[in-house]
Amino acid sequence: MGQSELCWTANAFLFLLFLPGILGWGREGHYMICKIAEKYLTEDALSMVKELLPSYAEGDLAAVCSWADELRAHPDYHWSGALHYVDTPDFFCNYKCSRDCHDNYRHKGRCVTAAIYNYTMQLESAYKEITSEIKYNLTEALMFLSHFIGDVHQPLHVGFVGDIGGNLIKVSWYRRRTNLHHVWDTMIIDSALKRFYHSNLLLMIQAIQNNISDEWHNEVSAWRNCTVNQTTCPNPYASESVSMACKYAYKNATPGSVLEDSYFLSRLPVIEKRLAQGGIRLASTLNRIFASEGKVAEI
């Protein structure tokens, strides 16, 4: 058994944890990732997703992709706070599951990549009817999984532990005071919506989708790729994220920086591609989970 398998199967106990202020992509980011994913679901996956969604979602996965952020403040769900991210030691631009996947109390397996394995496994074992003692809430498993695959693609969700993924780096976004993490969750996307997409989320989603089928067409199969017989592959996504955090997010954004057009215009394409990758990979994970026997090889 390889190090990474040992790492993610490490027993995950339930510990209480509450860390305020570390959200995922903002609402728009998660919505876009799930909207993109919906377009690439197989028929089998789409019908299972619809079956599992809560009724208020009205069949739309994107409607519940921020659910995991909304419930974090609820006392019953404080334990889920650590599952939205994973931090590396300061100035380490690589991700190592065995070193990094733990919460602030160093409880192993309390991090976003382990959570992705966890909820993938819950859905898969129920769907493939592998008998399991514990009955999980599969609606929650689907909503957590869809959210966390998004989060792991936000570069600063795999940032440095000392600044809490950029949360402690105070910067100005044009004339507004904020922190670097928030810039990457929300501000870049908000500014792009206003400046380029008439504040219309659907236009931005469409532009990203156009790139998926055109500009990035040749890369998409590599995005989908996962180790043979594995259903999901979050570790490489976390590695990509921290390397982008170093190369694009932290770069030229020291405490007190005023971030304006040069930062905005050079980082926006990075974020748009991450949203695309998050959507494609969420779809292919769900497609693999809900593949009928014998169809696995085609996905």
Ligand X SMILES: *[C@@H]1O[C@H](CO)[C@@H](O)[C@H](O)[C@H]1NC(C)=O
Residue ranges binding ligand X (CB under 6 A): 12, 14, 54, 79, 83, 109-110, 114-115, 118, 136-137, 139-140, 207-208, 211, 215, 222, 225, 227-229, 236, 269, 272
Check if the beta carbon of residue 68 is closer than 8 Å to that of residue 80: yes
Check if the beta carbon of residue 155 is closer than 8 Å to that of residue 274: yes
Instruction: Give the Cα separation of 144 and 86 in Å (integer).
Output: 16
What is the nearest approach in angstroms of ligand X to the Cβ of residue 115?
A: 4
If binding is defined by CB under 5 A, does position 281 make contact with Zn ion? no
DSSP 291: P
Nearest to 112 by CA among 160, 70, 80, 73: 80
If binding is defined by CB under 5 A, does position 29 make contact with Zn ion? no
Smaller CB distance to ligand X: residue 236 or 257?
Answer: 236
Instruction: Give the Cα separation of 17 and 102 in Å (integer).
Output: 12
**Nearest residue to ligand X, by Cβ distance, number only:** 272
| Alpha helix segments (H runs only) across 57-129 | 67-70, 97-100, 112-127
Among ligand X, Zn ion, none, residue 24 binds (CB under 5-8 Å by kind): Zn ion
Residue 170: phi and psi, rounded to 5, are -80, 125
Tokens at residue 270, please?
A: 């990075």
What is the nearest approach in angstroms of ligand X to the Cβ of residue 275?
A: 8
What is the nearest approach in angstroms of Zn ion to the Cβ of residue 195?
A: 25
What is the nearest approach in angstroms of ligand X to the Cβ of residue 119?
A: 6
If binding is defined by CB under 5 A, does position 151 make contact with Zn ion? yes
Smaller CB distance to Zn ion: residue 102 or 157?
Answer: 157
What is the nearest approach in angstroms of ligand X to the Cβ of residue 86?
A: 11
If binding is defined by CB under 5 A, does position 185 make contact with Zn ion? no
Which helix (H) or strand (E) is 172 found in, with range? strand 170-173
Check if the beta carbon of residue 179 is closer than 8 Å to that of residue 249: no
If binding is defined by CB under 5 A, does position 84 make contact with Zn ion? yes
Which of these segments, 89-97, 148-156, 245-253, 290-298, binds Zn ion (CB under 5 A)? Answer: 148-156
Smaller CB distance to Zn ion: residue 153 or 267?
Answer: 153
What is the nearest approach in angstroms of ligand X to the Cβ of residue 199?
A: 15
What is the nearest approach in angstroms of ligand X to the Cβ of residue 10?
A: 9
| Alpha helix segments (H runs only) across 71-187 | 97-100, 112-127, 138-151, 180-182
Which of these segments, 87-95, 145-153, 200-208, 273-281, binds Zn ion (CB under 5 A)? Answer: 145-153
Smaller CB distance to Zn ion: residue 109 or 278?
Answer: 278
Among 4, 8, 24, 119, binds Zn ion (CB under 5 A): 24
DSSP 136: P
Among ligand X, Zn ion, none, residue 265 binds (CB under 5-8 Å by kind): none
Instruction: Give the Cα separation of 167 and 87 in Å (integer).
Output: 12
Tokens at residue 113, please?
A: 């990549």
First to last CA, the chain: 25
Tokens at residue 171, please?
A: 């910067």
Tokens at residue 275, please?
A: 């949203």
Task: Kindly list the residues in this chain that would bind Zn ion in the complex (CB under 5 A).
Answer: 24, 69, 84, 151
